[in-house]
């Protein structure tokens, strides 16, 4: 890590809200920073709305688990926005153990002219009050406040990896390594356990839950992925405890190809429904796969993110990089998918044209407003001028978290402690 | 004659087994999973934890200046007077 990089600044999650007007980031220090898109003015047609800081607050603090003598990190694992229902914005943020519902609201008026208090808030001597006045609301500088409205605690023994807001806007789920719980936004002291894969004997543990998400339209349906590369789709109407899946997605493996690394690299680090709800996308260590909900026996599309790493698995295992959890995202129309890689590279795959591109998020290699140049990693001996050889890749510069605006071609890419926002070229 | 072309993955596996001969003898799955479930730094007790945190805080960046608009001391504050939330001691770099 470069000198001067505070660990607390490492971005751990990025998420646009449903309109794309707001972009939230969470970091290792438990803080949330929200950016807001500038309103496009008539004077500056060429300048697309840029994102500026709107609000920042401390969401989670480090805690100590007295029972296990373990520290509970304040790192924000996930942020999910609620759809906007009034003037305020609501989001869920979670660390390993506790989910919080935050309300972010604006205040641009302040009451002035109290009778019993002076302007500094000091109580006035009632004997000096001879007249009565009506307090009025006067404009003030815009203040954005974040308040914690609900704290959903003490429901997870293991570490929360996912939260997902249901399409009914009344419930949401939180998933840890072995269990998934269903919550109602209004109730913090109870949650329903809907998936429990903890074996009676922990020695028999063979897989853990790695990610979970609700279907975008069907409030009874959700999926969860496992460390063994499988995805289960569950229907909450079938039973209260969804241990038995409705659908089971797994790609058959050629047993002759099996190696020590097979299971580790097949572990799914992220699962995302398409906006249409017809497909799911999964990310494992080397590939991104698209599955049709109607076909369980294999994915319909497989994209190689960085297959050249297959010949580096030994060292990637030794430096723990093989356990890195990359996320993946769909664009608004489900035609392009994006995921991160190493060396601050990120990849985009166009599902229709089958073309892909590798881009880099770094200050040295791009100036603001410059067009990103595609990058290429060279595998063989002969390296062209612009290419980077596999051995020169910086594995400490990993892009794990990215986000795509819900309707426009604007992407947010988190490169360790820096946030990059890229937009489509104007003309 | 058998075809000796090995996949890159198998070649890497051989490399790993050469370095760590005892690896994978127990079911690999449970080892990784157990380590994953146990994530987090273990301390001897809460006292040990608090000492470690205090040591880290001294090394941290300078503390924020005391808030001059604090309404305390002169009178009993009402809920409206108190600041909404304690601001982070160190604001995120993204917000600066």
> Could you give the 3-state DSSP secondary structure of residue A26?
strand
CA angle A34, A36, A38 (to 5 degrees): 160
A21 found inside a domain: no
Residue A328, CA distances (Å) to A340, A341, A401, B38 in order: 7, 11, 8, 26
> Could you give the 3-state DSSP secondary structure of residue A312?
helix
A157-162 contacts at long range (C-beta below 8 A, 24 or more positions apart) = A158/B37, A159/A77, A159/A96, A159/A97, A159/B37, A159/B39, A160/A77, A160/A78, A160/A94, A160/A95, A160/A96, A160/A97, A160/A99, A161/A77, A161/A78, A161/A209, A161/A210, A161/A211, A161/A212, A162/A77, A162/A78, A162/A211, A162/A212, A162/A213
B34 and A205 Cβ atoms separated by less than 8 Å: yes
Where residue A373 sits, what CATH number does that domain have? Answer: 2.130.10.10
Q: Please give the Cα distance from A175 to A103 (Å, whole number).
A: 22
Contacts of A71 in chain B (CB under 8 A): 40-41, 43, 49
* CA closest to A61 among chain B residues: B88
Would you tell me which residues 36-95 of chain B have a C-beta closer than 8 angstroms to some C-beta of chain A?
Answer: 36-37, 39-46, 49-50, 53, 61, 71, 74-75, 77-78, 80-81, 84-88, 90-95
A128 found inside a domain: no
Per the CB < 8 Å rule, is B86 touching A58? yes
Strand partners of residue A338:
A329, A348
A39 found inside a domain: no
Q: Does A52 touch chain B (CB under 8 A)?
A: no
Q: Does A53 touch chain B (CB under 8 A)?
A: yes
> Could you give the 3-state DSSP secondary structure of residue B48?
helix
Option in B12, B36, B49 nearest A71 (CB): B49
Give the CA-trace dihedral at A13, A18, A19, A25, to 10 degrees.
-10
Per the CB < 8 Å rule, is A53 touching B33? no
A121 found inside a domain: no
pTM of the model: 0.87
Contacts of A207 in chain B (CB under 8 A): 29, 33
A107 and A143 Cβ atoms separated by less than 8 Å: yes
- The tens place of each residue's pLDDT in chain A, 427 residues long, gives 344 578 999 999 999 999 999 999 999 999 999 999 998 766 655 556 899 999 999 999 999 988 888 899 999 999 999 999 999 999 999 999 999 999 999 999 998 988 988 878 788 888 888 999 999 999 999 999 999 999 999 999 999 999 999 999 999 999 999 999 999 999 999 999 999 999 999 888 999 999 999 999 999 999 999 999 999 999 999 988 988 999 999 999 988 889 999 999 999 999 999 999 999 999 999 999 999 999 999 999 999 999 999 999 999 999 999 999 999 999 999 999 999 999 999 999 999 999 999 999 998 767 777 888 899 998 877 778 889 999 999 999 999 999 999 999 999 999 999 999 999 876 5
Total count of domains within chain A: 1
A235 found inside a domain: yes
**Structural domain boundaries enclosing A391:** 62-104+152-423
Contacts of B11 in chain A (CB under 8 A): 311
A16 found inside a domain: no
């Amino acid at each position: 890590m470069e000198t001067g990089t505070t660990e607390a600044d490492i971005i751990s999650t990025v998420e646009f809200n449903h309109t794309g007007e707001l972009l939230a980031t969470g970091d290792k220090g438990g803080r949330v920073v929200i950016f807001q898109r500038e309103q496009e003015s008539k004077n500056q047609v060429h300048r697309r709305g840029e994102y500026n800081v709107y609000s920042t607050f401390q969401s989670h603090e480090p805690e100590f688990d007295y029972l296990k003598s373990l520290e509970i990190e304040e790192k924000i694992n996930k942020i999910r926005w609620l759809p906007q229902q009034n003037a305020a914005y609501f989001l869920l943020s979670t660390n390993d153990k506790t989910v919080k519902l935050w309300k972010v609201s604006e205040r641009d008026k302040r009451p002035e002219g109290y009778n019993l208090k002076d302007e500094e808030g000091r109580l006035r001597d009632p004997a000096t009050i001879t007249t009565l006045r009506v307090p009025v609301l006067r404009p003030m500088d815009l203040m954005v406040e974040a308040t914690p409205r609900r704290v959903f605690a003490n429901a997870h023994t293991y570490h929360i990896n996912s939260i997902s807001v249901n399409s009914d806007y009344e419930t949401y789920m939180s998933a840890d390594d072995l269990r998934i719980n269903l919550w109602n936004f209004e109730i913090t002291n109870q949650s329903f356990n809907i998936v429990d894969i903890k074996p009676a004997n922990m020695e028999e543990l063979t897989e853990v839950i790695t990610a979970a998400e609700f279907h975008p339209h069907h409030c009874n349906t959700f999926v969860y992925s496992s460390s063994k590369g499988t995805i289960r789709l569950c229907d909450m109407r079938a039973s209260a405890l969804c241990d038995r899946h409705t659908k089971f997605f797994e790609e058959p493996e050629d047993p002759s190809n099996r190696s020590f690394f097979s299971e580790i690299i097949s572990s799914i680090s992220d699962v995302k429904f398409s906006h249409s709800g017809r497909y799911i996308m999964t990310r494992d260590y080397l590939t991104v796969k698209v599955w049709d909900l109607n076909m369980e026996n294999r994915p319909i599309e497989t994209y190689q993110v960085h297959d050249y790493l297959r010949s580096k698995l030994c060292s990637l295992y030794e430096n723990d990089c093989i356990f890195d959890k990359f996320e993946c995202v769909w664009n608004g129309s489900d035609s392009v998918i994006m995921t991160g890689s190493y060396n601050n590279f990120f990849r985009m795959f166009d599902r229709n044209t089958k073309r892909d591109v590798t881009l880099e998020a770094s200050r040295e290699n791009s100036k603001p407003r410059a067009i990103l140049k595609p990058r290429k990693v060279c595998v063989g001996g002969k390296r062209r001028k612009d290419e980077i050889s596999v051995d020169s890749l910086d594995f400490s510069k990993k892009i794990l978290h990215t986000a795509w605006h819900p309707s426009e071609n604007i992407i947010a890419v988190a490169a360790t402690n820096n946030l990059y926002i890229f937009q489509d070229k104007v003309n | 004659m058998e075809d000796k072309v090995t996949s890159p993955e198998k070649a890497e596996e051989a490399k790993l087994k050469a370095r760590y001969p005892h690896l994978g003898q127990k079911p690999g799955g449970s080892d990784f999973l157990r380590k994953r479930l146990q994530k987090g730094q273990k301390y001897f007790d809460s006292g040990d934890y608090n000492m470690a945190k205090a040591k880290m805080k001294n090394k941290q960046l300078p503390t924020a200046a005391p808030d001059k608009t604090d309404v305390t001391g002169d009178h009993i504050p009402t809920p409206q007077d108190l600041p909404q939330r304690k601001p982070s001691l160190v604001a995120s770099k993204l917000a600066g």
